[in-house]
Structure 1
Amino acid sequence: MSLPLLFKVLLTRKVVTILLLLQLAITLALLLNSVLLAQQTHQQLNQPTGLDLEETLLVQIKPTTPQLRAYPLLEDLLERQLNALRNIPGVVAAAYSNQGMLLQGGNNGNVYNVDDEERSNTSSVPIYFVSADYFKVLGVDVLQGRLPQQSSLFTKESFPSVVLTQSLAEHLFPEQSAVGRQLNRGSVSAVISDFYGQRNGENVMYNSIQVTRPFSVDWGYTLLLRTSPGQTSAVRQQLTTVLQQVEPNIEIFHIRSLAEQQQQLYRNEYGLATLLTILSALMLVVTMISSYSSTHFQVLKRQQEIGIKRALGASKRLIFIELLSEGWLCTLIGTLLGIGCALLLNHGLSQVISLPSLNWWLPLLTGAILLFSVTLAIWYPATIATRVSPATATKAL
Structure 2
Amino acid sequence: MSFYLLFKVLFSRKVVTGLLLLQLAMTLALLLNSILLAKQTHQQLNQPTGLDVDNTLLVQLKPTMASLRVYPALEELLNRQLDAVQAMPGVIAAAYTNQSAILQGGNNGNVYIDGEEDRTNQPSVPMYFVSKDFFNVLNSDVLQGELPQHSVSLDNPVQPDVVITKSLADKLFAGKPAVGQQLNRGRVAAVISDFYGQRHGTNIMFNNIQVAPPYSVDWGYGILLRVQPGQAENVRQQVDKVLRNVEPNIEILHVRTLAEQYQRLYRNEYGLATLLALLSALMLLVTMVSSYSSTHFHALKRQQEIGVKRALGASKKVIFLELLSENWLCTAIGALFGIGCALLLNKALSQVITIPPLDLYLPLLASLILLVCVTVATWYPAAIATRISPATATKAL
For 1:197, the equivalent position in structure 2 comes to 197
Q: Deviations over 1:362-393 (max 9, x none)?
A: 00000000000000000000000011111144
Is residue 52 of structure 2 the alignment partner of residue 59 of structure 1? no
Q: CA deviation at 1:90?
A: 0.5
For 1:262, the equivalent position in structure 2 comes to 262
User: Which segment is superposed worse, 281-290 or 61-70?
Assistant: 61-70
For 2:49, the equivalent position in structure 1 comes to 49
Instruction: Specify the SS of the correspondent of 1:234.
Output: helix
Written as runs of structure 1 = structure 2, the 5 A alignment for 1:109-128 is 109-128=109-128
Paired positions, count: 397
Instruction: Specify the SS of the correspondent of 2:255.
Output: strand
For 1:232, the equivalent position in structure 2 comes to 232
For 2:223, the equivalent position in structure 1 comes to 223
Equivalents in 2 of 1:389, 1:163: separation in Å?
84
Equivalents in 2 of 1:289, 1:264: separation in Å?
37
Equivalents in 2 of 1:269, 1:122: separation in Å?
27
For 2:278, the equivalent position in structure 1 comes to 278
For 2:38, the equivalent position in structure 1 comes to 38
1:104–1:198 Cα contact (<8 Å) kept? yes
Q: Where has structure 1 moved over 3 Å in runs of 4 or more?
A: none
| Structure 1: runs of 5+ lacking an equivalent | none
Written as runs of structure 1 = structure 2, the 5 A alignment for 1:105-254 is 105-155=105-155, 157-254=157-254
Q: Deviations over 1:95-139 (max 9, x none)?
A: 000000111111001111114232112111100000011000000
Instruction: Specify the SS of the correspondent of 2:7.
Output: helix
Q: CA deviation at 1:61?
A: 0.7
| One-letter code aligned to 1:77 | L
Q: Deviations over 1:273-318 (max 9, x none)?
A: 1110000000000000000000011111111111111011110000
Is residue 91 of structure 2 the alignment partner of residue 91 of structure 1? yes
Q: CA deviation at 1:156?
A: 6.9
Equivalents in 2 of 1:146, 1:210: separation in Å?
13
For 1:24, the equivalent position in structure 2 comes to 24
Q: Deviations over 1:238-288 (max 9, x none)?
A: 122222222221111111111111111111111111110000000000000
The alpha-carbon distance between structure 1 residues 110 and 155, as it changes in their structure 2 partners (threshold 3 A), is farther
For 2:290, the equivalent position in structure 1 comes to 290
Q: CA deviation at 1:157?
A: 2.4
2:32–2:363 Cα contact (<8 Å) kept? yes
| Structure 2: runs of 5+ lacking an equivalent | none
TM-score for both structures, normalised by structure 1 = 0.98
Q: CA deviation at 1:340?
A: 0.4
Instruction: Specify the SS of the correspondent of 2:154.
Output: coil
Q: CA deviation at 1:175?
A: 3.2
2:163–2:191 Cα contact (<8 Å) kept? yes
Equivalents in 1 of 2:195, 2:183: separation in Å?
20
| One-letter code aligned to 1:101 | A
User: Which segment is superposed worse, 13-22 or 214-223?
Assistant: 214-223
For 2:315, the equivalent position in structure 1 comes to 315
For 1:340, the equivalent position in structure 2 comes to 340
Q: Deviations over 1:309-329 (max 9, x none)?
A: 101111000000000001000
TM-score for both structures, normalised by structure 2 = 0.98
Q: CA deviation at 1:171?
A: 1.7
| One-letter code aligned to 1:106 | G
For 2:331, the equivalent position in structure 1 comes to 331
1:154–1:160 Cα contact (<8 Å) kept? no
The alpha-carbon distance between structure 1 residues 25 and 285, as it changes in their structure 2 partners (threshold 3 A), is same
Is residue 361 of structure 2 the alignment partner of residue 361 of structure 1? yes
User: Which segment is superposed worse, 150-159 or 22-31?
Assistant: 150-159
| One-letter code aligned to 1:92 | I
1:25–1:341 Cα contact (<8 Å) kept? yes
Aligned-pair identity in percent equals: 70
Q: Deviations over 1:197-249 (max 9, x none)?
A: 01111111110000012342111001100000111111111122222222221
Equivalents in 1 of 2:360, 2:109: separation in Å?
38
Instruction: Specify the SS of the correspondent of 2:256.
Output: strand
Equivalents in 2 of 1:6, 1:312: separation in Å?
19
2:308–2:392 Cα contact (<8 Å) kept? no
User: Which segment is superposed worse, 376-385 or 66-75?
Assistant: 66-75
Q: CA deviation at 1:67?
A: 1.0
Q: CA deviation at 1:174?
A: 2.2
Equivalents in 2 of 1:143, 1:217: separation in Å?
31
